[in-house]
Structure 1
């Protein structure tokens, strides 16, 4: 399938236009990096704690930020995801200790602090229904003997049967809570669930209250681990680029390797600059996205380089500039079709993948666009310029220059 038939674009005639466009993107993106004092790193690299909370009502972020800064030393409190979901992200400062006791106490301290802010006025002596587990909930219901009093369990029921029935009742409530994002806002609404009668609601209201929030996750990384992960991520990207240089230099010529690796740096640096410009943070999954981008981008570049090598053998009378133009034009349909289909896939992943995959899919969405552009307009022109001005006399004889 060919999208472009008999195309004859003088790509090399526009080389300075392409390089100028790349320079503008680099300057804009990295000006943002300098303006923000560097990148925003996730706790994977900085160390610290990231807490995600869902609230029943629209959260007062300023109030939460001020209160948590005083009580826990929270570094930042922000909203994330769709506004109607009432989700809040709390970033704690770096933790000094990495012992297990510190991590175990952290979750309780966070809950207590949020409880003091959001649920302080709730009835005392009761437990938060949004925090209780299945076993504890089943035990509370069993101790009340509510099903026996209703006649749903007879005096002759075995201990195993009694435990099973109460556990199923507790599972129904907890599963309903999970389906609602971990938050039950009104105990009375549980009356619509199978097996939840008014006497059961009465027991629940006697022992529990519907909390105004739920802690969705608490992720902690110690400072030593964070530094180690940052070092390993940097090395992973560096060695992947070095490996590409060696591979292409051996398969083609050193000049081709230089052009390809500079184009890869171009793709990564522009994408990183745009991430800073748009306020995206760098996490481990984002690094995975960059490594995926490096592999994908080099694949497109190799396709063009392969065609250049073939055309040099077939068209010995043509200049290197003519051969590059012809090779790019011949592979353009394949490049656009492949990149276009991949872009559709990762765009859907970015659109529908949720918060967890946002960074990874965003890198690929931007990276595929930039990578496709660089395979056409950056890698080959840079190879040409290197060969023309820094190539050996033998290379200049093989790759003819007008």
Structure 2
């Protein structure tokens, strides 16, 4: 018989509800804490959402933030932030920094002439300095991007909830939407807590997390619906535990293979994509957690139709849509 790798035994009998008040309570605490963090600390918005210009510098000489600031102080640029970028993939003689110039009131973006003046001022103190990239976003555009980002995440949650409602029942839909809000809020809370840069790539990561999380949730719910028809007298809690145990191997394989791709990128991918990869990696963990400990807990508390009523629900015209 051919050898096959298993991340979980072929048959497991884990009681996922044994600590349901602790796990669900932890989720509630994390959601509330995330809301408080976002309300009090806010986000470290990138240039996409804040507006302004970011100049990326690179040199063979070590970055002297104080010297950079002294060179730019007399240019009347307003709010200027200079940060050195560290990355294990950089060469020993590769020193990178970011000069962020906030958008000025009434000005759409920093002019090319101003950017040239900044570059000349930095070259005066470090002739070896180069400028690999310059990004500019006007304040009006950045404001529109914030609204669009919020609407895109909210629209994704609504669309996924509607799909689950049509494919299963409203109880499943409510559990899924709560799990998705949980995933987005907790991930956003982590970015607020550690003041990690929050830009459009992080919004793309949040949308990807929604799709990843709901995929795992649908697999569990699909097995749950089958088992409800198969075990008509088994208590709902036991049927849910059975369904999660039966899909546990698939969940671990899916999460594990995804992490095999993400973790090397997180370590060696460089600072440009590190925020996106971190959000994705964290999202794999929190999405798997919410599928098991949040979505099905909501469904259990609401209850599901059993017997003949369950048959009637499972025969709706959307139930056989391929997931």
Q: The TM-score by the shorter chain falls in which range?
A: 0.7 to 0.9
Look up the match of 1:266.
182
Whole-Å separation in 2 of the counterparts to 1:261 and 1:396: 26
Counterpart among 366, 369, 380 of residue 282 in structure 2: 366
Give unpaired runs (5+ residues) of structure 1: 120-210
Counterpart among 206, 211, 214 of residue 290 in structure 1: 206
What TM-score, normalized to structure 1? Answer: 0.69
Whole-Å separation in 2 of the counterparts to 1:107 and 1:66: 16
Whole-Å separation in 2 of the counterparts to 1:313 and 1:42: 50
Question: After superposition, where does 1:76-115 map in structure 2 within 5 Å?
Answer: 76-82=81-87, 84=92, 85-95=94-104, 96-98=106-108, 103-115=111-123
2:168 is the counterpart of 1:252:
yes
Whole-Å separation in 2 of the counterparts to 1:291 and 1:17: 28
- Whether the 8 Å contact between 2:180 and 2:214 is mirrored in structure 1 is yes
Look up the match of 2:26.
21
SS of match in other structure, 1:76: strand
Look up the match of 2:318.
none
SS of match in other structure, 2:272: coil
How many Å apart are 1:25 and its aligned residue?
A: 3.2
How many Å apart are 1:232 and its aligned residue?
A: 1.2
Question: After superposition, where does 1:2-401 map in structure 2 within 5 Å?
Answer: 2=6, 3-36=8-41, 38-71=42-75, 72-82=77-87, 84=92, 85-95=94-104, 96-98=106-108, 103-116=111-124, 118-119=125-126, 211-387=127-303
Look up the match of 1:179.
none
SS of match in other structure, 1:306: helix
SS of match in other structure, 1:308: helix
Whole-Å separation in 2 of the counterparts to 1:397 and 1:274: 45
How many Å apart are 1:106 and its aligned residue?
A: 3.2
Whole-Å separation in 2 of the counterparts to 1:348 and 1:29: 28
RMSD value over aligned CA atoms? 2.2
Whole-Å separation in 2 of the counterparts to 1:219 and 1:349: 24
Whole-Å separation in 2 of the counterparts to 1:27 and 1:236: 22
1:293-317, Cα deviation, whole Å (9 max, x unpaired): 1101100000000000000010111
* Greater mean alpha carbon deviation, residues 8-17 or residues 360-369: 8-17
What TM-score, normalized to structure 2? Answer: 0.85
- Whether the 8 Å contact between 1:65 and 1:74 is mirrored in structure 2 is no
How many Å apart are 1:327 and its aligned residue?
A: 0.4
Equivalent residue pairs, number = 299
- Whether the 8 Å contact between 1:68 and 1:74 is mirrored in structure 2 is no
SS of match in other structure, 1:378: helix
Question: Rg larger in 1 or in 2?
Answer: 1
Whole-Å separation in 2 of the counterparts to 1:346 and 1:250: 33
Look up the match of 1:183.
none
How many Å apart are 1:277 and its aligned residue?
A: 2.2
Whole-Å separation in 2 of the counterparts to 1:239 and 1:355: 30
How many Å apart are 1:214 and its aligned residue?
A: 1.4
How many Å apart are 1:261 and its aligned residue?
A: 0.9
Whole-Å separation in 1 of the counterparts to 2:86 and 2:26: 33
Look up the match of 1:143.
none
SS of match in other structure, 1:58: coil
- Whether the 8 Å contact between 1:4 and 1:332 is mirrored in structure 2 is no
Give unpaired runs (5+ residues) of structure 2: 311-323
How many Å apart are 1:276 and its aligned residue?
A: 2.0
